[in-house]
């Protein structure tokens, strides 16, 4: 069965035009005017007055991540269903071995967990230590397993954090292999000292989480990482950037031609640190790392997008329930599991507060949410654009109307939504993934296990 989308305004990172799209066998077969049904069974979507985007790519999620003594609340089935409801048809999740753990054990575990996904997925591999075999492990990941990107953490001391010597070896190896190395850039050593000091002073509430990890420590770690990446000659990507210092550090090296990319997330653009003050421990719902920053940093991030310093907007989707999970840190902010949901809301928020406010146009939005993540992480042009031969992953977006975000009506299992009460303009009317209509007018039609593992390849001509 094929799908014929009629008269929508197709938006790519480069172009916008009104045309029809015919999809069959899970691929976009044709784009043109006056396309006709090719079989009696073909489904027709009238997209007049609506926008048609490529299925979005979220380069940063954590489905069922074991972290801080618990596991993130959305599993691969539910989390990818939430993604589909929000127009995201591909996620790149992080396989994270415990410190000292085997990367192939982690990869197998993540592959097993992800078998129930309803949307396509790829994995970044986290390097949580450096051993004699790690360079060879990286090579095998890239050349045999289709895992072409890695991540290191410069924070979470005693858990995922690596030291500068380990970082250096990861950078050198990434440069040799030509793959991308991502980083969580905060200075975990200093954070640990600040955490201990605050707790000893009886400062245990959620707001002290943010005070224990000031933006200076993100700026420092970002600049250090970029300096070492430059020496090593590695292509790098900085995840979840939150602050002016980090944007400035990235902009500075980009001006010299260094191949370094930056990602931010809607929460850092749209919220400020006053959320941590909410009564009844509600501030815990907003505890994540790096933390949501004081007013002003959000504007620096919007400018970073507008000037091209930041290339992508991911979500860092990593929800924890208020009840039973966030509550673990009621008497000690260091025990509040870090993270929040976002995969379901990224498109609506960025369309509303990025495009409709005039900060950037629809083409740039598609670039930020789909094309650039697909390009940087070697999924393009199968993913991230609307072109014949690409996977039939498409979002038909009705720009009319307004909805209000609420945890009460979300697909994510989480009992909180950090964007609760925010108004969003328009909504997806149809989400097509792998050539099937998986979401229609609020109705999810996903099937457990339909998501596919995306084995990636480095481009030949790098």
Q: Contacts with ligand URP in 299-328 (CB under 6 A)?
A: 316, 318
339 binds, among ligand URP, Zn ion, none (CB under 5 to 8 A by kind): ligand URP
Q: Which run of H or of E encompasses 250? A: helix 244-255
Q: Which pairing describes strands 235-238 and 180-184: parallel, antiparallel, or unpaired? A: parallel
Q: Does 382 bind ligand URP (CB under 6 A)?
A: no
Which of 119, 126, 122 has the alpha carbon at shortest distance from 145? 122
Q: Does 191 bind ligand URP (CB under 6 A)?
A: no
**Counting beta carbons within 10 angstroms of the beta carbon of residue 129, is it exposed (0 to 12), middle (13 to 18) or buried (19 or more)?**
middle
Closest to Zn ion by CB, 316 or 344: 316
**455-to-106, 124, 143, 398 alpha-carbon distances in Å:** 16, 11, 10, 33
Q: In whole angstroms, what is the distance from residue 311 CA to residue 264 CA?
A: 9
Helix or strand or coil: residue 54? strand
Closest to ligand URP by CB, 338 or 345: 338
Distance of CA 387 to the CA centre of its chain: 23
Size of the site for ligand URP (CB under 6 A): 8
Q: What residues are paired with 236 via a beta bridge?
A: 181, 260
Q: Contacts with ligand URP in 85-104 (CB under 6 A)?
A: none
Q: Which of 6, 124, 151, 184 binds Zn ion (CB under 5 A)?
A: 184
**107-to-9, 36, 46, 97 alpha-carbon distances in Å:** 39, 44, 41, 8
Q: How far is the CB of 143 from ligand URP (least distance, A)?
A: 26
Closest to ligand URP by CB, 184 or 427: 184
Q: Which pairing describes strands 443-444 and 235-238: parallel, antiparallel, or unpaired? A: unpaired
Q: How far is the CB of 40 from Zn ion (least distance, A)?
A: 47
412 binds, among ligand URP, Zn ion, none (CB under 5 to 8 A by kind): none
Q: What x/- string results for residues 241 through 280 when contact with ligand URP is judged by CB under 6 A?
A: ----------------------------------------
Distance of CA 165 to the CA centre of its chain: 28
Which of 198, 195, 244, 200 has the alpha carbon at shortest distance from 223? 244
Structure tokens at 36: 């006709």
Q: Does 339 bind ligand URP (CB under 6 A)?
A: yes
Q: Does 316 bind Zn ion (CB under 5 A)?
A: yes
Q: How far is the CB of 96 from ligand URP (least distance, A)?
A: 9
Q: Contacts with ligand URP in 145-184 (CB under 6 A)?
A: 184
Q: Which pairing describes strands 3-11 and 443-444: parallel, antiparallel, or unpaired? A: unpaired
407 binds, among ligand URP, Zn ion, none (CB under 5 to 8 A by kind): none
Q: How far is the CB of 142 from Zn ion (least distance, A)?
A: 21
Q: What residues are paired with 95 via a beta bridge?
A: 125
Q: What x/- string results for residues 53 through 72 when contact with Zn ion is judged by CB under 5 A?
A: --------------------
Q: How far is the CB of 338 from ligand URP (least distance, A)?
A: 3
Which of 393, 373, 65 has the alpha carbon at shortest distance from 237? 373
Stretches 81-89, 308-316, 417-425, 443-451: which one binds Zn ion (CB under 5 A)?
Answer: 308-316
Q: Does 338 bind ligand URP (CB under 6 A)?
A: yes
Residue ranges binding ligand URP (CB under 6 A): 62, 184, 288-289, 316, 318, 338-339
Residue ranges binding Zn ion (CB under 5 A): 184, 316
């Amino acid at each position: 069965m094929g799908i014929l989308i009629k008269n929508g305004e197709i938006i790519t990172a480069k172009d916008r035009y009104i045309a029809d799209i015919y999809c069959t066998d899970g691929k976009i077969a044709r784009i043109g005017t006056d396309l006709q049904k090719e079989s009696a069974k073909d489904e027709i979507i009238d997209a007049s007055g609506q926008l048609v985007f490529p299925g979005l790519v979220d380069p940063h999620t954590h489905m069922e991540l074991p972290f801080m003594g618990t596991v993130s609340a959305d599993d691969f089935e539910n989390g990818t269903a939430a993604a589909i409801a929000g127009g995201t048809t591909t996620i790149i999740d992080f396989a994270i071995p415990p410190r000292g753990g085997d990367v192939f054990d982690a990869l197998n575990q993540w592959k097993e967990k992800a078998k129930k996904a309803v949307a396509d997925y790829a994995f970044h591999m986290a390097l949580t230590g450096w051993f004699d075999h790690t360079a060879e492990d990286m090579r095998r990941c890239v050349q045999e397993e289709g895992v072409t990107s890695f991540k290191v953490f410069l924070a979470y001391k005693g858990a995922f954090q690596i030291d500068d010597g380990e970082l250096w070896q990861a950078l050198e190896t990434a440069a040799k292999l030509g793959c991308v190395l991502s980083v969580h850039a905060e200075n975990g050593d200093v954070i640990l000292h600040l955490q201990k000091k605050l707790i000893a002073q009886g400062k245990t509430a959620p707001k002290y989480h943010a005070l224990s990890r000031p933006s200076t420590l993100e700026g420092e770690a970002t600049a250090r990482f970029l300096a070492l990446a430059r020496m090593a000659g590695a292509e790098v990507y900085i995840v979840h950037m939150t602050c002016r210092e980090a944007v400035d550090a990235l902009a500075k090296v980009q001006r010299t031609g260094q191949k370094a990319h930056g990602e931010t997330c809607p929460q850092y653009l749209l919220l400020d640190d006053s959320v941590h003050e909410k009564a009844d421990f509600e501030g815990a719902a907003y505890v994540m790392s790096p933390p949501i920053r004081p007013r002003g940093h959000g504007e620096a991030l919007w400018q970073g997008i507008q000037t091209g310093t930041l290339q992508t907007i991911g979500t860092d989707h990593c929800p924890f329930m208020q009840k039973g999970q966030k509550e673990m840190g009621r008497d000690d902010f260091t025990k509040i599991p870090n993270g929040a949901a976002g995969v379901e809301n990224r498109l609506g928020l960025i369309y509303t507060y990025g495009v409709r406010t005039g900060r950037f146009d629809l083409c740039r939005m598609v670039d930020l949410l789909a094309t650039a993540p697909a390009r940087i992480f070697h999924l393009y042009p199968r993913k991230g654009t609307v072109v014949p031969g690409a996977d039939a992953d498409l979002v038909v977006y009705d720009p009319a109307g307004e909805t209000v975000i609420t945890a009460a009506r979300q697909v994510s299992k989480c009992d909180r939504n950090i964007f609760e009460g925010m108004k969003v303009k328009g909504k997806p009317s149809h989400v097509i993934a792998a050539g099937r209509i998986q979401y229609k007018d609020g109705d999810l039609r996903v099937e457990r296990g339909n998501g596919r593992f995306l084995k990636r390849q480095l481009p030949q001509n790098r």
